[in-house]
């Protein structure tokens, strides 16, 4: 048996994976020495040095039985005063003939004292002429020098993050036109106590490249000037490789070259680029376009909507069977589903949220996999005052209600109720609201709210009435715009105004309108 103790920074499972000798085999000293080296290496990979590893050997000593459990006591082979106890179930011990086996075996105890994290004392570069040291340091995300004001832990050396940050330095150069840049060598110089580190990097920058010419081949659907507009590069521009790839294959704005094709059904199109170095600091780029077939949408399947009705999901989709495939509308459909707040955004935006499957050489089936989540609200509060007594509030909002199936829910309607009370029985108010966001299966929202308030503290009045709202999603200027009209009626009966209100009965009418634009691309 092997026991591992004291390892706070590295998981026991990760250490056990380094153990190569088998249970019951003859233990060789060189195997133990190799294991210590592997454990030390595991700590150094995570940035911990000076880790102390002690291996102790224990022989079987005694075994006691108590309440169906067997307690085996082991004794240190060199320090007889040190013992170690292991608990086994009696059933396990008898079935495996445990005691007879372990009498001839060793227990190996590995005690670990985690080493210290290494602080980065200095980061320096050589042969960097285009950018100074501070520029290159800023290009790194996780690797930075230890300074007094980074009290939250900056300046700690992590070998894995360091390797990633070296790639970021090269990307920084390439973003600024230095396509040949590389790190020729890097040195990690540790202090004698292995607590501090100096990093030295020797870089090769090469020339800054500019684009001389961009040539398109194979494009018949879109002319070259339209593709160049999307690419957003002109002769003489610095060759920013990151920007070039994003504007060619996919950027956050979705106004790249690929979007032109993917938003018009060319699902399997392909782009290939070829760079030709001209002179010392210029490059010609040829982009070969394989347009291939134009695809239409076949089936649109929805999975995982156990509560929400399918029509509630489908009415938010822009992917319509028979239409040409459109990547932008596919993403917009996912955005609409996420904005409902009925489904997990992590699932929708995850790798399994959208599936596409080619059903023929011109048809693609689309699938949306959703995961239901609770979106309803319940609030309750209560308080007590010696002067006014109890006060409180109770409210519930069902955001995915179905008036046709009130116990099943899933209809996409909103039902809300709120009740407040206070000052003993001298104050109370309630509201009851209902909204149908898709009246007659069109993007027309109709809602109503009833309210009633009674107050008999300081002044005596009653207010009641209703609000009716009608809204619609617009198509112009774009379909993120929404217009809503509101009509409100309120009945007032002031019995005792105490100079706050005019006593008597009155009726109030009000109308209002609202135009808004709402675009949330990734709701939490």
User: Does residue 151 carry a pLDDT above 60?
Assistant: no
- Please write the tens of the pLDDT for every residue from 33-77: 999 999 998 988 888 888 899 999 999 888 887 776 788 888 999
User: Does residue 388 carry a pLDDT above 70?
Assistant: no
Give the percent of the chain with pLDDT over 70: 94
Q: What share of the chain is helix, strand, coil (3-state, %, to 5)?
A: 20, 40, 40
Whole-number mean pLDDT of the chain? 90
CATH class of 210-290: alpha beta
Q: Rounded to whole angstroms, how far apart are CA atoms 512 and 155?
A: 58
Confidence tier at 202 by pLDDT (50, 70, 90): very high
Domain map (residue ranges) of the chain: 2-116, 118-204, 210-290, 296-369, 377-517
Euclidean distance between the first and final Cα of the chain, in Å? 48
Task: Give the pLDDT confidence score for residue 22 in this predicted structure.
Answer: 67
The residue to which tokens 């048809």 are assigned: 363
Task: Give the pLDDT confidence score for residue 149 in this predicted structure.
Answer: 64
Q: Rounded to whole angstroms, how far apart are CA atoms 451 and 430?
A: 6
- The Cβ of residue 95 has, within 10 Å, a number of other Cβ atoms equal to 9
Using CA atoms in the order 204, 206, 209, 215, what is the torsion angle rounded to 10 degrees? -90
Exposure string of 277-294, with b = 16+ CB inside 10 Å and e = fewer, is eeeebbbebebebeeeeb
Matching CATH number, 377-517, of 1.10.1200.10, 3.40.50.300, 2.40.160.50, 3.90.180.10: 2.40.160.50
Task: Give the pLDDT confidence score for residue 459 in this predicted structure.
Answer: 76
- Please write the tens of the pLDDT for every residue from 417-448: 999 988 666 788 999 999 999 999 999 999 99
The residues with which 377 forms a beta bridge, in sequence order, are: 397
CATH number 3.10.20.310 is the correct assignment for the domain at 296-369: yes
Residue 146 burial (10 A CB sphere; 0-12, 13-18, 19+):
middle
User: Does residue 152 carry a pLDDT above 60?
Assistant: no
Judge whether 210-290 and 377-517 match in fold.
Answer: no
- Please write the tens of the pLDDT for every residue from 302-358: 999 999 999 999 999 999 999 999 999 999 999 999 999 999 999 999 999 999 999
Q: Tell me the pTM.
A: 0.73
- Please write the tens of the pLDDT for every residue from 107-145: 889 999 988 888 899 999 999 999 999 999 999 999 999
Q: Taking the domain 118-204, which CATH number applies?
A: 3.10.20.310
Contact (CB, 8 A) for 142 and 159 = no
Q: Taking the domain 2-116, which CATH number applies?
A: 3.10.20.310
* Range 174-200 average pLDDT: 94
Using CA atoms in the order 341, 347, 348, 354, what is the torsion angle rounded to 10 degrees? -150
For residue 155, the surrounding DSSP H or E stretch is none
Q: Is 416 helix (H, G, I), strand (E, B) or coil?
A: strand
Positive or negative CA dihedral for 92, 94, 96, 101?
positive
């Amino acid at each position: 048996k092997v026991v591992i103790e004291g390892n706070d920074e590295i998981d026991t499972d990760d250490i056990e994976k380094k153990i190569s000798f088998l249970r019951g085999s003859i233990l060789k000293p060189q195997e133990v020495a190799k294991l210590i080296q592997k454990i030390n290496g595991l700590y150094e990979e995570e940035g911990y040095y000076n880790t102390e590893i002690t291996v102790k050997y224990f022989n079987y000593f005694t075994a006691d039985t108590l309440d169906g459990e067997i307690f085996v006591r082991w004794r240190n082979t060199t320090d007889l005063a040190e013992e170690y106890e292991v608990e086994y179930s009696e059933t396990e011990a008898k079935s495996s003939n445990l005691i007879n086996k372990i009498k001839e075996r060793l227990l190996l105890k590995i005690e670990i004292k985690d080493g210290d994290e290494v602080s980065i004392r200095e980061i320096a570069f050589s042969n960097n002429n285009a950018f100074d040291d501070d520029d290159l340091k800023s290009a790194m995300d996780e690797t930075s020098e230890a300074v007094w004001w980074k009290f939250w832990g900056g300046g700690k050396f992590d070998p894995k993050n360091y390797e990633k940050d070296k790639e970021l330095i090269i990307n920084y150069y390439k973003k600024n036109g230095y396509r040949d840049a590389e790190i020729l060598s890097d040195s990690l110089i540790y202090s004698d106590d292995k607590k501090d580190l100096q990093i030295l990097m020797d870089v090769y920058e090469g020339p800054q490249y500019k684009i001389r010419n961009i040539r398109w081949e194979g494009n018949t659907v879109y002319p070259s000037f339209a593709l160049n507009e999307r690419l957003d590069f002109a002769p003489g521009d610095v060759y920013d490789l990151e920007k070039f790839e994003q504007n060619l294959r996919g950027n956050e704005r979705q106004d790249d070259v690929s979007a032109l094709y993917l938003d018009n059904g060319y699902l399997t199109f392909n782009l290939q680029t070829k760079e030709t170095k001209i002179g010392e600091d210029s490059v010609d780029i040829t982009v070969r376009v394989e347009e291939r077939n134009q695809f239409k949408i076949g089936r649109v399947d929805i999975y995982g909507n156990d509560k929400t009705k399918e029509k509630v999901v489908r009415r938010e989709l822009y992917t319509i069977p028979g239409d040409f495939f459109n990547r932008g509308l596919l993403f917009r459909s996912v955005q609409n589903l996420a904005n409902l707040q009925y489904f997990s955004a992590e699932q929708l935006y995850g790798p399994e949220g959208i599936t596409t499957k080619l059903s023929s050489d011109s048809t693609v089936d689309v699938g949306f996999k959703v995961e239901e989540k609770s979106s309803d609200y319940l609030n309750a509060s209560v308080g007590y005052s010696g002067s006014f007594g109890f006060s409180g509030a109770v409210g519930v909002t069902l955001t995915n209600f179905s008036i046709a199936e009130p116990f099943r829910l899933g209809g996409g309607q909103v039902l809300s109720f709120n009740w407040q009370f206070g000052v003993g029985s001298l104050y109370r108010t309630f509201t009851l609201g209902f909204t149908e966001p898709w009246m007659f299966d069109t993007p027309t929202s109709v809602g109503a709210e009833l309210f009633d308030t009674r107050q008999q503290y300081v002044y005596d009045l009653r207010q009641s009435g209703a609000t009716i709202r009608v809204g619609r999603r617009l198509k112009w200027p774009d379909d993120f715009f929404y217009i809503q009209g509101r009509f409100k009626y309120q009945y007032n009966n002031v019995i005792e105004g105490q100079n706050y209100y005019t006593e008597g009965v009155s009726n109030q009418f009000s109308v209002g309108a609202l135009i808004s634009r709402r675009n949330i691309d990734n709701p939490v």
